[in-house]
Amino acid sequence: MDNSSRSGLIGAALIGVGCGLTVVGIALVIPACTNWSLGLMEQAVRTGKESISSGVETAATLAGQVTGIAQKKFGEASKTARQKAAKAAEVVENAARHVREHAS
């Protein structure tokens, strides 16, 4: 096998590894952002309860509903990201195996 073909296969494998790491990074960032957003929302609800006496229960109920919906959506997104990360890892493994087979 000539050098340019080997370099091409190694480059393709590295691109696959980069894509896989990107997916894994996104899968790790989504739950962190979710926790941060929900923490800010809970803090806003707490502050609203302390500063406003009338209408707080309505605002808290609304915030609770929004929090529940957001948590469900982010949970679904996180599940999808984990599935994509597993698929990307499988692709990276296959590419690495393919490079090893053709490089030897």
Q: Using one digit for the tens of pLDDT, what is the confidence trace for 28-60?
A: 788 878 877 887 788 877 776 666 655 555 666
Residues sharing a CB contact under 8 Å with residue 26, sequence separation 6 or more, in sequence order: 81
- Tell me: pLDDT of 8 over 80: yes
Residue 1 DSSP class: -
Which amino acid, 48?
G
Task: Decide if 60 contacts 45 (C-beta within 8 A).
Answer: yes
CA 72, 78, 80, 83 torsion: positive or negative?
A: negative
Q: What is the pLDDT of residue 49?
A: 67
Model confidence, pTM: 0.39
Task: Decide if 20 contacts 85 (C-beta within 8 A).
Answer: yes
Reduced to 3 states (helix: H, G, I; strand: E, B; else coil), residue 29 is: helix
